[in-house]
Amino acid sequence: MHLEEFRKKRDLSQHEFGLRLNPPVSQSLVSQWECGETRVTLDYALEIGRATNNEVTPEDCASMYIDRAEKKVF
């Protein structure tokens, strides 16, 4: 499941979700993860799994990242 989908199903803001992680992260970092701008580190992917009862898996976290070098813009 995508992190944004998880959050919205539970009516959590990016800020609220970030506070659930250990250590907590900022709203802007959660936004960067969801938009695919920044990779989720393995430590945080595991922490996100814990915080979501594994509804958002490390594999889900890895798939959120968009490699801009591979993306073709026309």
Q: Say which CATH number the domain at 54 has.
A: 1.10.260
Domain-embedded: residue 71: no
Domain-embedded: residue 34: yes
What is the tally of structural domains in the chain? 1
Nearest one of 11, 10, 6, 9 to 33, comparing CA atoms = 6
Domain-embedded: residue 44: yes
pLDDT at 21 (0 to 100): 98
Average pLDDT, consecutive stretches of 10 residues, N- to C-terminus, the chain (74 residues): 97 98 98 96 98 98 81 52
pTM of the predicted model as reported, rounded to 2 decimal places: 0.88
- The answer to whether 38 and 32 have CB atoms below 8 angstroms apart is yes
Domain that holds residue 10: 3-64
Per-residue pLDDT of 18-30, as tens digits, reads: 999 999 999 999 9
Number of C-beta neighbours around residue 43 at 10 A = 11
